[in-house]
Amino acid sequence: MLWYQLTSDIALLKLESSESGLSAGEAEIRRKKYGKNKLPEEKGESYVLIFLRQFQSPLIYVLLVASIIVFVMGDTADGFVILAVLAINAAIGTFQEGRAKEKLASLKVLTKTHSLAWRNGKETVLDSEELVPGDVIMVREGDQVGADARLLSAVSLHMDEAALTGESSAVLKKAESIEEQSLETADQKNMIWKGTYALSGFGKAVVVDTGVNTVIGKLAMKLGMLDSEMPLKENIRLLTKVIMVALAVISVIFFFAGVHAGNPVSEVLKVIVALAVSFVPEGLPVVVTLILATGVWRMSMRNALVKKLQAVEALGQADVLAVDKTGTITKNQMMVTAIYANGKKFEVGGNGYEPRGYIKEGSSTVEPLNHPELLLFAKTALLTATGSIAYNEEKKEWMRTMGEPTEVALAVFGQKMGFNKPALEEELPQKAEIPFDSRIKYHATVNDVLGVDTLFVAGAPEVILNSVKEVWKNGACVLVTENDMGEIKQALSDLSTRGLRVLALATASGVNSVLDPMKLPELCFVGFAGITDALRPHATQAIKDIKAAGVHVVMITGDYVETGVAVAKEIGIFSEGDAVLSGSELEKMTVEELVLKIRRVSVFARVSPEHKLQIIEAYKKAGNKIAMTGDGVNDALSLAAADLGVAMGKSGTEVAKDAADIVLLDDNMASIVSAIEEGRNIYRSIKKVVLYLFGTAAGEVLVICGAIFLGMPIPLTPGQIIWLNLVTDGFLVVALGLEPKADGLLLNVFKKPSKWIVDRRMLERILLMGFVMSVLSLYLFAFYLPEGIVKASTVVLTVLAVTQWFNVWNVRFNRKSIFKMNWLNNKFLLYATGIVVILQVAVVHVPSLQSVFHTTALSLSEWAIIVGLSTSVFLAEETRKFLRYGLPALLRQLNWKT
């Protein structure tokens, strides 16, 4: 029902209520019908369920099948090794995810809200959970609204709806019905919403919706139905499909080819098992988890809580970042940032409500004591402001304690100038006051200035200027001229064009202390205050760095277009020529139409949560990976729907933090820059690991296939393959995953990853590595086969192990020669290489291991031959690098010189 269209009397009639509220008995009946006024709470997962969920991956399923096959073949030790690897992977994921959940839970401040309601004809304080439709509630300054309600009356009631609608300025409410159709939540001025706050004034309202039927409740319910797959999870899922399909095709071909050739079925199955074990990269899940966990740990050092391991890597893949304005780019703290007084223009610096800052005229910082116009301006601002601030020890910042945000901004400016309101009022005692009212649009006080009753007033420029007869110039009030008024109006236009909220300040001496609120006396113009929502420290630089990294940044706000564009210009998001879309325009567009326009847009203004979902869907359809930042309830849906959601930890609502994948504990957007760099590094590390593992797998598969087609015995047993994949590869890929960050990760030249982890050039390198390994192995296998299958098999096992030692150094860089890289900057890889050398010597020469892995000792000369020939892996990769990159660069250089 469109409650805002109904008169207050009709609304009460529809709800079967009255101005005196409900009886206790009727309220109990309705509570049983509608339930408690609270949102459904998601039941927390136990560590057991989190652990089991780590196995929900197609790649894990492949590995489980591989372990079953190994058990069936009788190699129980190998089967247990695979299961142990999977258990370690799940344990790491469980530890990180469980720790993130505990950390997030510790951030929640569990406070119960109370409401003042009429029950049995009397005002009663109730737990807000007890409210039911039809209850009549009272709302005063500082109160949090307990349910969605239709106003019955309102006196200068200003609400803070930033968390719900994204609108940064206070919203003036009224009780009159509204005729317009299909109004957005932010435009329903006769409604108040659960979770919002009263900044000033007084209101009486009848509850229309509670619990999940409130605006915030409906958002929470939609939130539970959203699921957005992270890019890495999608990439690994596609890779796993390729592995499974390829494995199935190869297995079927070998089965029928082997049986058709007259081989026993048992022997054919033995070949297929060997192929399956060699084809599946058993070490990939553990290494991917380790790489992600390392990135998450590094981000925790930067005050970023990562709730899911894949989240950091997802941010590295993002090519669009949608930032919410209020509470994310800005602090949701109004601040005086510009002043026009005595014909001069001043810029005011500072950090939101913090009572410290600076004032500049042009490029020079000024001393306020040398500018009488600033002193008068500050006194006028402080005397007419009812707002106050206090330092919050828990959040370590200055916060508003009372008053409407614009009045707080005036009060803070007065404090920045060095004034203290109690001391100022002691010096200039207040004799009368006219509180701000939406009808008169100003706030005025009369103070005793050296025995003269003097009026100080701050209000809407159009109201104040109508009564201006004088202007303060160089220490005195003088008659305003036509030229003066032209300059004043031009200054007003300049400030308004910047998207600032402008207040006019004026004074008048010798007034009657008994004032008529509807008629101002003749005023002396003091100046204009340009007020805006304060930018977060470091936000401008963070946006600059994010854009430099090649990420397209757009701003989404519930504020009006002019305000949104002004902030976007100031912070570097909006440039001349960019397009702007409003919520009303989005309403008329399909997602397909939006996709065609979205590339030119940098600001979306006056949007609802549903519009944000439409925007995110359009970016996804356009092929973008989109990350979203936010802090309010209105951001929760988009945080969950985006490829990655980033919430503010200090200022963010609990709904937003629950919906997000990453929570910035210090609200510092610079952490997003670090996360982008970390994510790109993670992706590159994973690609290196995949390249190495698949190069190894290609070598093993080609060796087995080559031996079969050449009519030779199978060179490797399943146990030997598992040794290579889990022991030899295991240590090396873990060390490779801890590779130091590459240079240039935040440069625009960073190549955006496709959905396929294995791209064309990676496939070339995999086939080249596999070919060299297999040719060398088959040659030595054939050479040593006359000495027995055990000897030949041992040689092949050792050749594949040694070529892997060398190959892990190859894959560190795609272009840089192995002879130019720093061999010492990854000490983990040096240690890992030493470990696998010792282990391979042990498996060849230790009797107990010989019996398990079917090996025999090799002579020193045989080791020398194997190691010497295995360097061909270096030669092949160095040749590739030279032909693809070195030679073209050399030819370009020669052409340039000629």
Say if residues 159 and 205 touch (Cβ distance below 8 Å). no
Residue keyed to tokens 């999977």: 86
Rounded Cα gap, residues 351 and 149, in angstroms: 35
Rounded Cα gap, residues 483 and 561, in angstroms: 32
Pairing of β 344-350 and β 357-361: antiparallel
DSSP 346: E
Is 686 exposed, middle or buried (CB count within 10 Å of its CB: 0-12, 13-18, 19+)?
buried
Which residues does 246 contact at the CB level (< 8 Å), separation at least 6? 279
Is 227 exposed, middle or buried (CB count within 10 Å of its CB: 0-12, 13-18, 19+)?
exposed
What are the Cα distances from residue 259, in Å, to 252, 265, 270?
A: 11, 6, 12
**Element spanning 699, H or E:** helix 670-709
- Can 729 be counted among the known catalytic residues? no
Rounded Cα gap, residues 442 and 503, in angstroms: 9
Closest C-alpha to 314, from 93, 543, 627 = 627
Rounded Cα gap, residues 527 and 507, in angstroms: 10
Rounded Cα gap, residues 702 and 696, in angstroms: 10
- From 75, 319, 324, 545, the catalytic residue: 324
In one letter, which amino acid is 317? Q
Rounded Cα gap, residues 67 and 893, in angstroms: 54
Rounded Cα gap, residues 866 and 868, in angstroms: 6
Which residues does 466 contact at the CB level (< 8 Å), separation at least 6? 520
Angle of CA points 673, 546, 292, to nearest 5°: 40
In one letter, which amino acid is 879? T
Backbone dihedral angles phi then psi of residue 390, each to the nearest 5 degrees: -155, 155
Rounded Cα gap, residues 276 and 82, in angstroms: 13
**Is 271 in a helix, a strand, or coil?**
helix
Work out the number of other CB atoms within 10 angstroms of the CB of residue 367. Answer: 8
Closest C-alpha to 167, from 146, 191, 143, 185 = 185
Say if residues 646 and 664 touch (Cβ distance below 8 Å). yes
Rounded Cα gap, residues 487 and 481, in angstroms: 10
C-alpha 254 chain-centroid distance: 48
Which residues does 258 contact at the CB level (< 8 Å), separation at least 6? 267, 268, 271, 708
Rounded Cα gap, residues 528 and 468, in angstroms: 13
Say if residues 225 and 42 touch (Cβ distance below 8 Å). no
In degrees to the nearest 10, what's the CA dihedral of 82, 88, 89, 92? 180
- Indicate left, alpha or beta for 108 from its phi (over 0: left) and psi (-120 to 50: alpha): beta
Say if residues 714 and 270 touch (Cβ distance below 8 Å). yes
Rounded Cα gap, residues 855 and 833, in angstroms: 21
Rounded Cα gap, residues 132 and 187, in angstroms: 24
**Element spanning 530, H or E:** strand 523-535
Work out the number of other CB atoms within 10 angstroms of the CB of residue 514. Answer: 9
Closest C-alpha to 351, from 366, 333, 364, 368 = 333
Rounded Cα gap, residues 566 and 345, in angstroms: 18
What residues are labeled active site? Answer: 324
